[in-house]
Structures are given as C-alpha cells and as structure tokens.
Structure 1
Amino acid sequence: MIMASLLILLGLLALSVSITAALGMMGLVLATTFTTVPLERMVGDVAWQAMASDTLVAIPFFILLGEILLRAGIAEKMYTALSAWLSWLPGGTMHANIGACALFAAASGSSVATAATIGTVSIPEIGRRGYHERLFLGTLAAGGTLGILIPPSVALILYGVLTETSIPRLYLAGMVPGIVLAVLFMMLIAGVCLAIPRAGGHPARFDRAACINGLPDLVPPLIIFGVVVLTIYAGIATPTESAAFGVVTALGLAAWKRRLTLAMLRAAIEGTMRTTAMVVAIVLTALVLNFVMTFLGISQQITNAVLSLDLSPTALILAIVMFYLVLGCFMESFSIMLITVPIIVPVVTAMGYDPIWFGILLTLLLEAALITPPIGVNLYVVQGVRPAGPITDVIIGALPFVGVIFAMIILLIAVPDIALWLPSLVYD
C-alpha cells in the first residue's frame, strides 16, 4: 500500500493535476481499493469535524491582516523608514528588504504576502540605486520566507493543528531562530557587497533627520505584533482570538491613517477570500487523506519500516532533512507539510525528539522549499511583481540564501536550545 500510495500521488502530480485534486483522488482510490469498508461515506463527517476547528479560523484572519497592511500603505511607509536606518550597511536597501520582511512577517504570518508586499514596494530601488538585480531579487524571495517562521505564522498554526502541539509554544520557539536567520541573511548580503562593491549599488547616504522622521512609521507593525503575541501570552486570547484582535487593530490603524475606505476593504476581503480558499481546499483534502491512511494503517507501516532500519537519531534527522530538501524541489510547502507531517512526526517523536523543536526544523525546511526551483512559490511571487526579465534571475539570486537556510538547519540540529530555550523559559 505504501508504494501504491506514492505512485498514485507522483503520477497525478506528473500529470499536472492540482495538489488539492491529487490529494482527494488519492484518498478516494485508497479508500475504494484496499478496504471493503465504505470510507467514502465517512468523508463528509471527517471533513466537517476537521474544518470545525476554531484554530483554523486564524488563517483567514492573518491573511486579512496582511491585506489590510498592504492596502492601507502601512507596509510602504515601514519599508521607507527601514531603508533610512539601514542604508549605511554594505548593500544598503537590500538590508531593508530583509528587515522589512521580518517586521511584516511579525504582523501578517504569511510568506507569500510578505514577499509580494515588500517586493512591490522595493523593486523600483534596483534601477534607482544601481543594485545587482539578481542579488536584490534574491533578498526579496529569501526575506519573504521569514513569514512562516517568525510568529504569528500560518505554517506553525497548521503544524500545531496536525500534531496537537501547543501553538503558543511553537510561536515562542520560532522567535529566536527567525531573528538569527534574518541576521544571517544580512551577513550574507554584507559579505557579498564587501567582496564585490559594485553589487551594492549606490545606496542613499545616512540621513539622521529622515531616520528620526521615519520612526513613527515603524510603530504600526510593532503595535500589531504586540497585540497578537501579548494577548496570547497574557492569557487574554487564544491564537484565533489574537488574530481577530490583530485585524481590528489593523483596521483602527488604517482609519487613523485615513486609508480605511469601502474600496480598500473590498480589495482586502477579495484577496483574503482567494488565498483562504486555496489554503483551506488543500487542508481539507489532506486531512481526509490522512484519515484514510490512518484507517488503512499506512502511517503505522511507514513508522515501523523506518524504525526497523535501526538508524541513530542523528542519522534519521539527517535523512529526513535530505528527504524534505528533495521534496521541496517538486512540491509547494503547505502541501508538503499536510502530506508528510502525520507520517513523519510519529517517527521523529518515537526517536525521542521534541515535537516543538521538530516543528521549527520543519518550518526551516519549508522555507528552503519556498525558494527552491522549479516549484518555489516565492520565486514566482517575486517574478510576478517585477516589471520584466527572466525568472532565472530570481532563482540564481535566491540560491545563496538556500545555503544560508541549510546552515541554519545544521545549527539548529547541533544546538536544539536555539528553538527550545525561550519556550522552556516561559513555561517551565
């Protein structure tokens, strides 16, 4: 059954069938071929119970939050302020790309929204300042990946739902690795621009007045991050309720900026509905497939097969890392998570690893998938917001950052406390 499941999925993907349809068809084929129990009659009940989760409601809230920040002009002003503060570094505005992505990620929780928003605002700087185009585009694609690591994160919410793991603990675990990864990205940019000065273009001179005047524009994203995160850890709200608080706060800030109009709200809601429909469709079919695989015992068979190999815990983790890096070349990150987590996590926990730590490791692997050709979603997002040029420019520019993410993965394996220190400090 294991080989049959894999062949069905790979065959459907090779035929360019959408991941949602592929997961649904795979579940249907398994349910009707390998058991006489009419599992298809249970699909409606399974889908209803799975999608009735209060936690999943946080997904459209966070997507709407990012849409409001973009359409209210808050993201653009934030980027301008960061550019003023970071322009003195080797690489100039490219550091603002990473900093703005990190700050926007802390407010929106979405990688795609982060890459699209900061890309739209910053790409004109390439011609204006003479930056190396490929490196500049790579900073946008890589910086956007921070959206699924720095809390609040939609990916961590899904992982928490799939594994019944504490989402507040996952949020805490993602903070330090997210900051460290952003710093590593900036170190790479500085190193390249010091080694090849022309890659750094002609950044604007440090302007103290512009820096001071721009400080108020950094406050709105920080307010939203504070509202979302602090309401969770103060015990005021659940992750879903905190997302709703974030949306209300964003609406208030948009009104304060006099950008809250019916046209803006309509555009934000339409964008939210499109993105949410895509994500929820994948989640729904993946959860139904997981139910079928669990009923047929496929998940347990895979767990037993891996454990029977008698690998050491370190060898197992390295094998899993290589598996995800290869898989990331051919599948979208959310699909990877929804398909593999119910199978891989029981194996990992059986070997004695902390599911919180593995959630952060998996998120880093999914970040690599976001900028790994040929399926890397962020590559296409950045390509979509630039005026012209081949996508190979974005791919080549992003490849050095894949190496940085891989270095971060090795660092996290060697020093697990990078992720576990903050949750243990708060909860233990």
Structure 2
Amino acid sequence: MLGNASLLLAVLIGLSIPIAAALMMAALTLGYAYSPLPLYYAASEILWKVSNEFTLTSVPLFVLLGEILLRAGVAERMYGAVALWLNRLPGGLLHANIGASALFSATSGSSVATAATIGTVALPEILKRGYNERLFLGSLAAGGTLGILIPPSIHLIIYGMITNTSIPKLYLAGMVPGLVLALLFSLIVVIVCAIRPGYDGKPVTATWRQRFASLIDLVPVLLLFLVVVGSIYAGIATPTEAASLGLVFAVVLAWWNGRLSMALLHDAFLGAMKATAMIMLIVLASYFLNFVLSAIGLSQQLTGFVTGLGLSPAATMLVIIGFFVLLGCFLETLSMLVTMTPLVVPIVVSLGYDPLWFGIVMILLLEVALITPPVGINLYVVQAIRKQGSIQDVMAGSLVFVLSMFALIGLLLAFPEIALWLPAQVRS
C-alpha cells in the first residue's frame, strides 16, 4: 500500500498535474481502492474545518505584507545599506545577497518572496561589477531559503498548527539556526572566493561616514520585525494579529517612501491573491490526503515499517533525513510539509526527540528542497528574474550552499540546544 501510494503521487506529479490537484486525485483514488467506506463524503467537512482555522488567516496577511514591501522601495534601500557594510569581506556583494535575504526574511515569512525581492534588486550588479555569475545566482537562491526559517515563517505557522506546537516557541527556535545558517552561507562564499579569487567582483567603495549614514535605511526593516515578532513575545498579539499589525506598518512604510498608490495596492492584492490561492489549495488537498492515509491505515503502516527496522534513534533519524532529501527533489516544499508532517512527527516523538527541535530540522530539509533540482522552486524564481541564460547556471551555483544546510543539520543533531536554548530561556 505504501509503495502504491508513493508511485501514484509520483506519477501524477510527473505528468505535470498541479500539486493541489495531484494530492486530491491521489486521496480520492487511494480512498476508492483501499477503503470500503466512501471517504470522499468527509471532504466537505474537512476542507471547511481547515479553511476556518484562525491561525491560517496569518498566511494571506504575511503574503500581502511581502507583496507591499516588494513594491514599496524598502528592499532597494536595505540592500544598498547592507552592501556598504559587507563590501570589505571576500566576496563583496555575495555577502550582501545573503545578509539582505536574512533581513528581508525577518519581515516576509516566505522564501519565494525573499528570493524574488532581493534577486530583483541584486541581479543588475552581476555584470556591472564582474562577479562569477553562477555563484552570484546561487547566493540569491540560497539566501531566499532563509525566508521559511527566520521568523515570521509561514511554514513554521503551518507546522505548528498541524502538530499543536507553540508557534511563538517555534519562532524562537528558528532564530539562532537562521542566523547560523546565514553565517555558514557567508563562510561558503569566503572559502570559494579564497580558492577562486576571480569569483568575487569589484567591491562597492564607501567611507565610514557613508556606512553610518546608510543605517537609517535598515531601520524600517528592524522596526517591522519588532512590530511583528516583538508583539507576539510581548503578549500583545497572536501570530495572526501580529501579521495584521505588520501589514499596517508595511502600508505606512510604502506611504513614507512615497510609493503608496492605488496601482501599488492593486498589484500587491493581485499577487497576494494568486499566492494565497495556491498555498491554500495545497494545504486543503494535503489535509484531505492525510485523512485518507490515516483512514486506510497507511500512516500506521509507515510507523510500523520504520520502527520495524530495528535501528537506533540516531540511525532512524538519518533515514528520515535521507528520505526527505530524496523526496525534496520531486515534491514542492509546502505540499511536502503538510503531507509528511502528520506521518513523520509521531515517529520522531516516539524516538524521544522534541517536536519543537524537529520542526527546525524539517524546515532545513525543506530549504534543501528549495534549491535542489529538478523541482527546487527558488531556482526557477531566480531564473525567472534573470530572464536569460540557462537554469543550469542557477542550479550549479546553488549546490555548494547545500553543504551549509547539511552542516547545520549535523550541528542540530549533535547539539539540539542550538534550536532549544532560546525557547527554554523564555519559558523559564
């Protein structure tokens, strides 16, 4: 049954059927084939119940927030300021790509929005300053992945909702690993540029006076982070309410920069509606598929298969990690998150691991999926902005950054406190 379900889903996705439709078709087919009961009768109740989850309301709000920031001129000024401060490091603007992505991730909650926004600002600098194109493109695709790890992350919200894990604690757990991963990305850049000196381009020149003057351009992003994340930990707002506060602040920023207009709002709402429709369809279809898998006993079969291997908890975790890496090559990250979380988390908890810790490990595995071919969505986002050349360049430049993600996963396995220390301090 497990093999048939996996094969069916792989065939549907291989036929280029939209992910949400493939998940729903798989659910209906498996229910018809393996259940004596008409499971499709439960679809309306499940879809209605999930779509009424208050926590999910934060998803379109964060998406709209990112769309407004994309058009408000905040990213250009932020990128310019980061470039002035990081220009002296080996690799120059490659570090600015990563640093700006980390900062924007703290406001957007989306890897696609982060990669698209920073990519739009940074790509003109490749030819202007003579950077190695592949490494430059890879730094943008990899930097964009930080959007689902550094809070406020949409993926962490969905993981918390599925597993009944505290979203504020998940946000705290993601902060240190997010910063460590950004530093590891920069370390990769330094190492590559040391081995291949011609890969770093002409640096941005700036005086210390210019650098300090540019700090004003970082203030809006930091204030927005405090409004969204700070309001959660101050007990002022829930994640959904914090998203609405951040959205209002983003509109104020657009007005402050002289960009607020009906055209901007029209484009932002249109972009947010398209993205939200895609996300919600995937979430709803995945929830129904999870119901069918549980009803036909496949969830229990998977648990029995893994526990029946007789491996130690550490070895079992390595098997799970390898499975996610392989799955991430063929499945979109959001559908993978919603589909696999209910199946895998009970196994992980039974091994004695903290679901809070595993949430961060799982997000890192999803980040790997974002930049590994053939389905890595950030690769296609960067290539779409680039509008020339082959996507093979983006793929080749991104793969070196996967090493950083595996390194951080290894550190989390050896030292879980990297993710758990900050939530423990707040809890106490």
Shared fold (TM-score, shorter chain, > 0.5): yes
Instruction: Give the CA deviation at 1:255.
Output: 1.3
In the TM superposition, 1:207-246 aligns within 5 A as 207-246=207-246
Indicate whether 1:401 and 2:398 are aligned: no
In the TM superposition, 1:17-416 aligns within 5 A as 17-416=17-416
- Aligned counterparts of 1:104 and 1:41: Cα–Cα separation in 2: 43
- Aligned counterparts of 2:318 and 2:205: Cα–Cα separation in 1: 45
- Aligned counterparts of 1:8 and 1:138: Cα–Cα separation in 2: 33
3-state SS of paired residue (2:235): coil
Report which stretch shifted further, 313-322 or 253-262.
Answer: 253-262
TM-score, reference length from structure 2: 0.98
- Aligned counterparts of 1:19 and 1:388: Cα–Cα separation in 2: 27
- Aligned counterparts of 1:31 and 1:130: Cα–Cα separation in 2: 56
Given residue 295 of structure 1, which amino acid in structure 2 is its aligned partner?
Answer: A
3-state SS of paired residue (2:88): coil
Q: Could you give the per-residue CA deviations for residues 234-272 of structure 1, whole angstroms, max 9, x where no partner exists? A: 111111110011001111111122211111001111000
Report which stretch shifted further, 383-392 or 135-144.
Answer: 383-392
- Aligned counterparts of 1:89 and 1:4: Cα–Cα separation in 2: 51
Q: Could you give the per-residue CA deviations for residues 330-358 of structure 1, whole angstroms, max 9, x where no partner exists? A: 11111211121111111111111100000
Report which stretch shifted further, 166-175 or 250-259.
Answer: 250-259
Q: Hey, what does 1:2 align to over in structure 2?
A: 2
Given residue 401 of structure 2, which amino acid in structure 1 is its aligned partner?
Answer: F
Given residue 381 of structure 1, which amino acid in structure 2 is its aligned partner?
Answer: V
TM-score, reference length from structure 1: 0.98
Report which stretch shifted further, 107-116 or 208-217.
Answer: 208-217
In structure 1, list runs of 5 or more residues that go unmatched: none
Q: Could you give the per-residue CA deviations for residues 200-254 of structure 1, whole angstroms, max 9, x where no partner exists? A: 1111223223212211110111111101111111111111110011001111111
Matched residues, number? 428
- Aligned counterparts of 2:305 and 2:144: Cα–Cα separation in 1: 37
Given residue 54 of structure 2, which amino acid in structure 1 is its aligned partner?
Answer: D
3-state SS of paired residue (1:206): coil
- Aligned counterparts of 1:387 and 1:121: Cα–Cα separation in 2: 14
- Aligned counterparts of 1:14 and 1:268: Cα–Cα separation in 2: 32
Q: 1:418 to 1:38 in 2, by over 3 A?
A: same
- Counterpart contact for 1:63–1:110, Cα < 8 Å: yes
Structure 1 segments, 4+ long, off by >4 Å, are none
Instruction: Give the CA deviation at 1:408.
Output: 1.0
3-state SS of paired residue (1:17): coil
- Aligned counterparts of 1:311 and 1:271: Cα–Cα separation in 2: 47
- Aligned counterparts of 1:204 and 1:298: Cα–Cα separation in 2: 56
- Counterpart contact for 1:70–1:76, Cα < 8 Å: no
Instruction: Give the CA deviation at 1:307.
Output: 1.2
Instruction: Give the CA deviation at 1:193.
Output: 1.5
Given residue 176 of structure 1, which amino acid in structure 2 is its aligned partner?
Answer: V
Q: Could you give the per-residue CA deviations for residues 267-320 of structure 1, whole angstroms, max 9, x where no partner exists? A: 111000011111111000000111111222221221122112221100011001
- Report the RMSD for the aligned CA atoms in angstroms: 1.0
3-state SS of paired residue (2:218): helix
Instruction: Give the CA deviation at 1:14.
Output: 2.2
Report which stretch shifted further, 3-12 or 211-220.
Answer: 3-12
3-state SS of paired residue (1:322): helix
- Counterpart contact for 1:88–1:206, Cα < 8 Å: no
3-state SS of paired residue (2:374): coil
Instruction: Give the CA deviation at 1:26.
Output: 1.0
3-state SS of paired residue (1:205): coil
Instruction: Give the CA deviation at 1:21.
Output: 1.0
Given residue 393 of structure 1, which amino acid in structure 2 is its aligned partner?
Answer: D
Report which stretch shifted further, 249-258 or 369-378.
Answer: 249-258
- Counterpart contact for 1:107–1:221, Cα < 8 Å: yes
